[in-house]
Structure 1
Amino acid sequence: MPDSTLTLRFEKGTLVLRDVPESDAPHLPAIRWDARVRGHRAPARFYRDIVLTIRKRGLAYRDEARAFQPLEVGYREELQARPYQAEALAAWQENGRQGVVILPTGAGKTILAVMAMAGTARPTLIHVPTIDLMHQWHGVLSKFLDVPVGRFGGGFSELAPFTVTTYDSALIHLDRIGNQFGLVVFDECHRLPGDQYKFLAIGNLAPFRLGLTATPERTDGRERDLYELCGKQVYRAFIHDLTGFTLAPYEVETIEVEMDPEEREAYEEAYAVYVGFLRDAKIDLGGPRGWQNFIWKAGRSPEGRAAFRAYLTQKRLSQAAREKDRAVWLLLQRHREDRVIIFTQDNEMAYRLGRLFLLPVLTHQTRPKERVAYLDAFRDGSYRVMVTSKVLNEGVDVPEANVAIIVSGSGSVREHVQRLGRILRARPGKTAVLYELIAKDTREYFVNQRRKRHHAYQGPDSVPDLQGQDTAPVD
């Protein structure tokens, strides 16, 4: 008789199950009959749940899906967990080694992941958003763990037991690497619910998952998707919980600057056109889908398109008010012995300040070798000031920085917390200062207030706490 043992295989981000007993099929999570393969199919992320159900039902099965085995992992250097790291690690382990840990920037999320990887002892794929972070993670893992560490992306194609990859590279090669790792780590995991990046979690069968972020909240409200893809929120600490211990104490100062008469006149004219259209079209930007409604209506008439141009004009005038140049200069004089990062909303403003004050500028246009040279020079003190648009918002480790000047930014609370986090890594005697420059009597004031609305400054409150499934381990 032909072998009728239930078989699992991995195929392009999915699981194919053959010879599933008819009476058991309704009980296996997420599977659907696929006539093309004459078997059942499910998204790869349900591998853990399917295997656990198969075991509970006492079915004989052959697992041809996973392409990994347990590892022996040791430390090159001993690690001592801080109390909150130990608590976070224990909470993640108790949830079946699945879940999201939320820690402020500078609190040691990478070290937490190192300990999680060593304890789980499975091949691990670490997802990071940028090439800079890929190299940074590679250096930390190589320093502390005695397992080969590879890089996948940015010109590297090294698949090792522990591999650091960019989100984009992992997405391209998901069909061939989605079954090779028992643990997946998603750094800056708030990116995961995006329309494309979500497939990194859906198409990977890893039974163990760790999401790391300082700011899980999303403007589109898809945090719930994050917890479904990665596991529920298992631990959260806030900036004020760690200030003075793990994080440097800090101050935030808002500086309002005047617009010159020419700028003010142009601003008021553009603002009137923009607000007039909102009023006539009965658009409430504070309501559900308010911004999407504005974009939709703006594209349907000449008046709408003029209103959108006016919106961009008033925004540009307030963010790039000329008096901000003088304010930056005065702050640089005040902090001439400090390490200062100047943040702007766009590259144009960043390069303008760089030319004006003869400062190094780091943007997404900066070549990789030049970027490394700039960051190294900033860390060793050769450069005491650096201008950037957005590339330093996320992940890059510059513990020497103690002053940040936000010349312009978005209304995103995530961006605000990320920029603050760049200067919060504790050093002996360090107190961090963040300055925000805003054009007086403009909408930038309200953007400034929105940027600072974040749990980190208000203390813990309710957050999604979705219960996970069965937490019994799968090898």
Structure 2
Amino acid sequence: MVLLIYDRGTIVIKGLMHIPFATLDPRTNSLRAQALNYSDIIHYLCESGIEYTDQVLDLIPSPHLTTTDVSLRDYQQKALNRWVKVGMRGCIVLPTGAGKTILGIKSIERINSSALVVVPTLDLMHQWTEVLSKHITNTSIGNLGGGSEDIEPITVATYDSAYIRASTLGNRFSFVIFDEVHHLAAPGYRSIAEQLAAPYRLGLTATIEREDKLHLDFPRLVGGGVVFEILPTELAKSKHLASYEIKRIQVALTTQEQNEYQKNFGIYQLSLKKLGIRMNYHGSFRRLIMMSTKNRVAREALLARNKAMDIALNSKSKLEILRKILAENRGVKTIIFTQHNSLVYAIADEFLIPAITYRTDKSERKDVLLGFREGRYLAIVTSKVLDEGVDVPDAKLGIIVSGTGSGREFIQRLGRLLRPKLVNADGSDQKAELIEIISSNTRETGTSERRKKALTKINQRKKGQEDDEAEYVEYERGTTSRETDKDVGAESDDKDLMLS
């Protein structure tokens, strides 16, 4: 008789000499496999007609789980049905504001057994806990993270805490939800999925692709790839999300800034030539970073490049354009995004706008977001902390003063504006607007192009069409000549690692 036992993130198989997914452990003279292969092992044994005793799962006792006051929209129900049809494993991609949390709650009801929800931030842990407690009232909701270690039939954990406890909790849940699942593919976090025996798995995100292509591992980690995806443009047509327009405003650097930019960017280009590095393939910049730890020229290249980009991202000309945009949109709820915290504070001081950064304590952040929701504050400025994992009140206008070339960051910032909006007096829908302020004749134009291409790529992947349905309008301010660097736009998003 074959015996299956869970052991610290793995499954020990006794009584067999060979089985797919497993290797021989000489210490115990038995086969051992990663816990994520549990379902595949059971399927293999059943298909092969091999009798076995299963002692893997030791589930936390759970009452019959039912939700209250929860109804799914048509696309949410379609997504849930698709996931169930393929065996309750795989990823669902929904835009920000499309109701991923509610969909997750209904999936827990569908499984009706102990469930672990893994999230990237403490803010998201608290948000999931609040919504779960509201809609599933016949069981306690546990937390694992931020000093809490309450394990309940439904437990919400941060990726960091789940990473630490996965080997001991890996057989206690039959269902796991990976919220913002793109984080799961990271070299450390993927071990969470590998050590969990949970046969049912769901990945939720608005942006599943990663620049390092590690999202290609999701079929193994989550048990399936993308089983359902819907675009913001599709939800805008059905009035579930606001329609949107993306604009680009190019501004010229001041004379002093332009001179400093060209000086530092010239040093960067010359250093690359000395090193024999061309930024024309994925990973080139990472190679430069690695070289900089031991090579003086490589380090000088990085420092010069970062100084040049800092000038482009934080140009004084941008503040003047920002002033004009805010004046033209007085009374409109606005979120201003930047790359660096220093610019956040500069904008906050210049325009007397509340700021939210990683330094903002929990009570102040809560007050600012509540004030924004209630209309006490009509604008807030932030760096990256509101890109993901924070419930941000509705805004109609977003202004990107600076950012990376990351498609994920761009789409998440756009998603902050796409909650359903009110209608105009003539009955037409109010349109959300995202404005990029770009320093012309700098590498920032290439950064903006990568953001645009990322949005277009999603539309092409989903609908097979060449152009994004959003209207992309370009406004020129100042000089408009092309950059002289032939490699512009060739750097992949990992080039932005050194900008922070």
TM-score by length of 2: 0.86
1:10 equivalent in structure 2: 6
2:25 equivalent in structure 1: 34
1:110 equivalent in structure 2: 101
Q: Is 1:83 paired with 2:77?
A: no
Q: Is 1:434 paired with 2:434?
A: yes
Change (3 A) 1:310 1:78: closer
Q: For residues 71 and 30 of structure 1, what CA distance do their matches in structure 2 show? A: 33
Measured after TM superposition, the shift of residue 154 of structure 1 is 1.5
**Conserved 8 A contact 2:271-2:300:** no
1:177 equivalent in structure 2: 169
Match of 1:196 among 188, 201, 204: 188
Higher deviation after alignment, 249-258 or 195-204: 249-258
**Conserved 8 A contact 2:62-2:153:** no
1:469 equivalent in structure 2: none
1:242 equivalent in structure 2: 235
Give a deviation string over 1:58-115, Cα, whole Å, max 9, x none.
4333322211167511122141x22221221111111100001111111111111111
Instruction: Calculate the aligned-residue CA RMSD, in Å.
Output: 1.9
1:450 equivalent in structure 2: 450
Q: Is 1:127 paired with 2:121?
A: no
**Conserved 8 A contact 2:292-2:298:** yes
Give a deviation string over 1:106-142, Cα, whole Å, max 9, x none.
1111111111111111211111111111111112212
Q: For residues 150 and 330 of structure 2, what CA distance do their matches in structure 1 show? A: 43
Q: For residues 458 and 189 of structure 1, what CA distance do their matches in structure 2 show? A: 17
Structure 2: runs of 5 or more not aligned: 424-429, 464-500
- Secondary structure of 1:377's counterpart equals helix
Q: For residues 381 and 393 of structure 2, what CA distance do their matches in structure 1 show? A: 16
Higher deviation after alignment, 49-58 or 312-321: 49-58
Match of 1:375 among 364, 369, 375: 369
Higher deviation after alignment, 316-325 or 452-461: 452-461
Q: For residues 436 and 6 of structure 2, what CA distance do their matches in structure 1 show? A: 51
Measured after TM superposition, the shift of residue 300 of structure 1 is 4.8
Q: For residues 299 and 128 of structure 2, what CA distance do their matches in structure 1 show? A: 45
Change (3 A) 1:78 1:294: closer
> Identity over aligned residues, as a percent?
36
- Secondary structure of 1:435's counterpart equals strand
**Conserved 8 A contact 1:238-1:460:** no
Give a deviation string over 1:303-347, Cα, whole Å, max 9, x none.
322221110110000000011122222222222212211111111
Q: What letter is aligned with 1:13?
A: G
Match of 2:359 among 355, 358, 365: 365
Measured after TM superposition, the shift of residue 299 of structure 1 is 4.6
Change (3 A) 1:456 1:137: farther
Match of 1:398 among 392, 402, 415: 392
**Conserved 8 A contact 2:396-2:432:** yes
- Secondary structure of 1:192's counterpart equals helix
**Conserved 8 A contact 2:268-2:304:** yes
Q: What letter is aligned with 2:199?
A: P
Measured after TM superposition, the shift of residue 256 of structure 1 is 1.4
Q: For residues 289 and 343 of structure 1, what CA distance do their matches in structure 2 show? A: 27
Q: What letter is aligned with 1:445?
A: T
Q: What letter is aligned with 1:239?
A: P
**Conserved 8 A contact 2:394-2:416:** no
In the TM superposition, 1:201-240 aligns within 5 A as 201-230=193-222, 231-240=224-233
Match of 1:295 among 286, 289, 296: 289
Q: For residues 455 and 350 of structure 2, what CA distance do their matches in structure 1 show? A: 37
- Secondary structure of 1:67's counterpart equals coil
Q: For residues 216 and 70 of structure 2, what CA distance do their matches in structure 1 show? A: 36
Q: For residues 152 and 299 of structure 1, what CA distance do their matches in structure 2 show? A: 37
1:332 equivalent in structure 2: 326
Change (3 A) 1:237 1:310: same
Q: What letter is aligned with 1:238?
A: L
